[in-house]
């Protein structure tokens, strides 16, 4: 049996999922030619929430898995790097052009090594928070159970957790 607590963070991001082609991949059987096959390859943005669930087999002396007021400080450092920035895959064929536009306009770019789908972003945040716990020396007592990304309106959710 384990205890859990979830802390949610809100931010705004721009991105493009440049690999998208609805005619390929899982779900291609449902593709309708009336729909653009790569609409998410366009530059666009989202208001998202990132829900980080922590777990522990036991509670501390204050009856907490972790004090969410304390853990929000290091996670907010990461959030602040990304909030209101454009997340771009370094392998995106448009990356050099995006980088030039961002530099010219003194805009914010957050470069990553993956196509920034909600699924990949949930894994990215999972690994980053896991590293925060490890660096603080508390990763043996407290685990990151899962990270869930919610889109605006809660119509899309992506979740990442390690396989058991």
Tell me the percentage of the chain whose pLDDT exceeds 70.
99
The predicted-structure confidence for 135-150, as pLDDT tens digits, reads as follows 999 999 999 999 999 9
Is the whole model's pTM more than 0.95, yes or no? no
Residue 153 has pLDDT above 90, yes or no: no
Note the CATH number of domain 3-160: 3.30.479.10
Measure CA 118 to chain center.
6
Domain-by-domain residue ranges, the chain?
3-160
Give residue 38's pLDDT. Answer: 86
CA–CA distance, 159 with 83 (Å, rounded to integer): 19
Beta bridge partners of 89: 112
Give φ, ψ of 44 to 5 degrees: -160, 175
Residues that are catalytic: 40, 84, 152
The DSSP line for the chain is: --EEEEEEEEEEEEE--TT--TTSSTTGGG--TTS-TTGGGS-EEEEEEEEEEEEESS--TTS-SS-HHHHHHHHHHHHHHHTTEEEEETTSTTHHHHHHHHHHHT--EEEESS---HHHHHHHHHHHHHHHHHHHT-TTT-EEEEEEEE-GGG--EEEE----
pLDDT digits (tens, 9 = 90+) for 51-105: 999 999 999 999 999 999 999 999 999 999 999 999 999 999 999 999 999 999 9
């Amino acid at each position: 049996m384990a205890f859990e607590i979830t802390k949610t963070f809100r931010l705004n991001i721009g991105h493009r999922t440049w690999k998208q082609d609805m005619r390929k991949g899982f779900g291609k059987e449902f593709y309708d030619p009336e729909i653009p096959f790569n609409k998410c390859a366009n530059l666009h943005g989202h208001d998202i929430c990132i829900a980080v669930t922590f777990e522990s087999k036991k509670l501390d002396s204050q009856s907490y898995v972790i004090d969410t007021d304390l853990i929000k400080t290091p996670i907010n450092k990461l959030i602040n790097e990304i909030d209101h920035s454009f997340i771009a895959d370094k392998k995106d064929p448009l990356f050099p052009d995006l980088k030039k536009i961002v530099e010219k306009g003194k805009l914010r770019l957050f470069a990553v090594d993956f196509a920034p789908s909600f699924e990949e972003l949930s894994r990215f945040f999972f690994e980053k928070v896991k590293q925060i716990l490890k660096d603080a020396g508390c990763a043996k007592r407290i685990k990151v159970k899962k990270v869930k990304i919610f889109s605006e309106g809660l119509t899309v959710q992506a979740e990442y957790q390690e396989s058991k």
